[in-house]
C-alpha cells in the first residue's frame, strides 16, 4: 500500500510540474531564427480572451491608484476639518505625558481610523477584484486575517518610525527635513534586513525545499554566482493566489533564497532556473544597496517638498483644523496626504529606476541560467496579471517591471546570439 501511495504521489508531482517549456515553432533554434518573430510567437500562445482579461486587470490598476489617492484625500480632509485629528491628539495626551508614547498612541488611532474609513475600497481592491479576475485563492476570513496581521505590524513598526520622525521634527526644527530623510533610509534598510527572517513568515509558512533536484540546481547556481547560502526555502503562496514568485532577499547575514509553491508547481525546471537566475542577479548586482542610495535622493527631494508644502498648508488652514504647528502630531494626516501627492509626481521616476534594475537582473539571469525559453515561460505566467504589450509611454509611467514583450524579446535576442 505504501508503495502504491508513493507512486501516486510521484505521478501527481510529475503531472503538476511541466517537464520542459513549450516552445513555439518560430521560437525553436534554427538557421533562420528571428528574435522578433520568436517573441511574437510566444505572445501569440496567450489566448485573446486571456490577453483582454490581463490587460483589463492591469489597466484598471491605473484608475485604482487614482481612486486610492482620492479616497485617502477625502478621508484625511474629513479627519482634519471635523477636528477628529485634534481629538485623537487630546486623547493621546490624556493617556500619557511622554511625547514618544503620545505619538505612538496617536499613530495607532490614526491607522485604525484610516483603515476603517478606506475599508470599502480595500476590500474591493484586495478581495473581490482579485477573485473576479481569478487571481486569489483566499476565503474572506483568510484574507481578513492577513489584513489584520498587516495592520498589527503597521501599528508596531510604523509607530516606531513615526515616533522617531516626529521626535526629529520637534528637536531639530530647522533641519528636520534633512535628518528625516536620513532616518527614513535607515528604516528602509532595517526593513530589508529583517523582512526575510521575521516579517515574511508572519504571512506564509517557510520550509526547506523538499524537491532535492530543484534544490541542488538552485544551490549550484548560487555557488557559481558567489551567493553565500546553503539552504533554499519554499513558501505556501498558493494559500493566497496563483502568482509565481521567488526572491533572494536580505543582507548582512539574513540572505535567504525563497521560491513559492506556485513557481514549483506551474513552471518547468528551466523556467525555475531562469527566475532564480534573475533573483540572484539582484543580489550579485547589489541592487539592495544601490536602491538604498537611490532612496537617499528620493527621500531628500520628498522631505524638502514636504517641508515647504506642509508649512504653507499649516499657515493657511492650521488654525481652522486646530493644529498647533508643524510639531503637532495631529498634523500627521496632512503630512501623509502631501507625501502621497509627492509620490504620485515621482512615480514615473521611481518606476523607471526599479524597471531598470529588473531589466539588469533579467540580463544577468539569462547569462547565469542560460534558459531563454524558461524566461519566456515565466514571463507569460507573469502576464496573467501584468499587461504583456503596452505602449512605450504607458510602460514608462506605470510599469515597475519591463513589460512581457520587452522581457521575452530580450530573451529571444540572447538566444539568437548565444545558443548555437
Burial 400-415 (b: 16+ CB within 10 A, else e): ebbbbbbbbbbbbbbb
**Percentage of residues in the chain having pLDDT higher than 70:** 94
Mean pLDDT of 176-186: 95
93-102, 216-225, 242-251, 301-310: which has the minimum mean pLDDT?
242-251
> What CA–CA distances, in Å, run from 113 to 64, 82, 162?
21, 14, 16
pLDDT of 349 higher than 80: yes
**How confident is the model over 370-409, as pLDDT tens digits?**
999 999 999 999 999 999 999 999 999 999 999 999 999 9
Question: Distance between CA atoms of 102 and 236, rounded to whole angstroms?
Answer: 39
Q: What is the pLDDT of residue 10?
A: 35
CA 409 to chain centre: 24
| Domain residue spans of the chain | 53-198+288-356, 207-280
pTM of the model: 0.88
100-114, 116-130, 195-209: which has the minimum mean pLDDT?
195-209
Mean pLDDT of 363-373: 95
Q: What is the pLDDT of residue 253?
A: 67
Q: What is the pLDDT of residue 19?
A: 64
**How confident is the model over 33-82, as pLDDT tens digits?**
999 999 999 999 999 999 999 999 999 999 999 999 999 999 999 999 99
Q: What is the pLDDT of residue 255?
A: 75
Q: What is the pLDDT of residue 4?
A: 35
pLDDT of 285 higher than 60: yes
pLDDT of 9 higher than 60: no
**How confident is the model over 253-273, as pLDDT tens digits?**
667 889 999 999 999 999 999
User: In sequence order, what are the residues at sequence separation of 6 or more whose Cβ sits closer than 8 angstroms to the Cβ of residue 307?
Assistant: 176, 177
pLDDT of 184 higher than 50: yes
Assigned CATH for 207-280? 3.30.2010.10
Band (pLDDT 50/70/90 cuts) for residue 21 is confident
Amino acid at each position: 500500500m505504501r508503495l502504491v501511495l508513493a507512486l501516486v504521489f510521484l505521478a501527481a508531482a510529475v503531472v503538476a510540474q511541466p517537464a520542459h517549456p513549450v516552445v513555439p515553432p518560430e521560437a525553436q533554434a534554427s538557421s533562420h531564427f528571428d528574435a522578433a518573430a520568436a517573441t511574437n510567437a510566444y505572445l501569440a500562445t496567450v489566448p485573446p480572451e486571456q490577453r483582454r482579461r490581463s490587460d483589463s486587470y492591469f489597466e484598471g490598476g491605473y484608475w485604482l491608484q487614482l481612486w486610492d489617492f482620492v479616497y485617502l484625500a477625502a478621508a484625511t480632509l474629513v479627519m482634519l476639518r471635523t477636528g477628529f485629528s485634534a481629538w485623537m491628539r487630546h486623547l493621546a495626551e490624556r493617556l500619557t505625558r511622554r511625547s514618544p508614547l503620545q505619538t505612538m498612541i496617536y499613530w495607532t488611532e490614526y491607522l485604525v481610523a484610516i483603515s476603517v474609513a478606506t475599508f470599502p475600497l480595500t476590500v474591493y481592491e484586495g478581495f473581490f477584484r482579485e477573485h473576479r479576475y481569478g487571481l486569489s485563492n483566499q476565503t474572506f476570513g483568510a484574507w481578513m486575517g492577513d489584513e489584520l496581521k498587516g495592520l498589527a505590524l503597521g501599528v508596531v513598526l510604523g509607530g516606531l518610525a513615526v515616533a522617531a520622525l516626529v521626535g526629529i521634527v520637534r528637536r531639530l526644527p530647522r533641519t528636520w527635513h534633512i535628518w528625516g530623510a536620513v532616518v527614513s533610509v535607515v528604516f528602509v534598510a532595517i526593513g530589508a534586513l529583517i523582512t526575510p527572517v521575521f516579517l515574511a513568515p508572519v504571512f506564509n509558512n517557510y520550509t526547506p525545499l523538499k524537491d532535492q533536484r530543484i534544490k541542488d540546481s538552485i544551490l549550484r547556481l548560487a555557488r557559481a554566482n558567489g551567493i553565500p547560502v546553503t539552504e533554499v526555502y519554499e513558501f505556501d503562496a498558493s494559500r493566497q493566489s496563483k502568482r509565481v514568485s521567488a526572491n533572494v532577499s536580505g543582507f548582512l547575514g539574513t540572505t535567504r533564497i525563497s521560491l513559492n509553491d506556485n513557481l514549483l508547481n506551474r513552471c518547468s525546471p528551466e523556467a525555475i532556473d531562469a527566475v532564480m537566475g534573475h533573483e540572484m542577479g539582484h543580489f550579485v548586482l547589489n541592487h539592495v544597496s544601490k536602491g538604498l542610495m537611490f532612496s537617499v535622493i528620493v527621500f531628500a527631494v520628498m522631505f524638502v517638498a514636504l517641508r515647504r508644502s506642509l508649512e504653507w498648508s499649516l499657515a493657511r488652514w492650521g488654525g481652522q483644523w486646530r493644529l498647533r504647528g508643524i510639531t503637532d502630531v495631529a498634523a500627521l494626516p496632512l503630512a501623509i496626504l502631501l507625501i502621497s501627492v509627492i509620490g504620485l509626481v515621482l512615480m514615473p521616476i521611481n518606476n523607471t529606476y526599479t524597471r531598470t534594475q529588473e531589466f539588469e537582473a533579467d540580463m544577468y539571469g539569462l547569462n547565469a541560467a542560460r534558459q531563454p525559453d524558461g524566461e519566456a515561460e515565466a514571463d507569460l505566467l507573469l502576464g496573467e496579471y501584468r499587461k504583456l504589450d503596452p505602449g512605450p509611454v504607458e510602460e514608462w509611467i506605470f510599469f515597475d517591471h519591463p513589460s512581457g514583450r520587452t522581457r521575452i524579446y530580450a530573451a529571444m535576442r540572447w538566444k539568437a546570439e548565444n545558443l548555437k
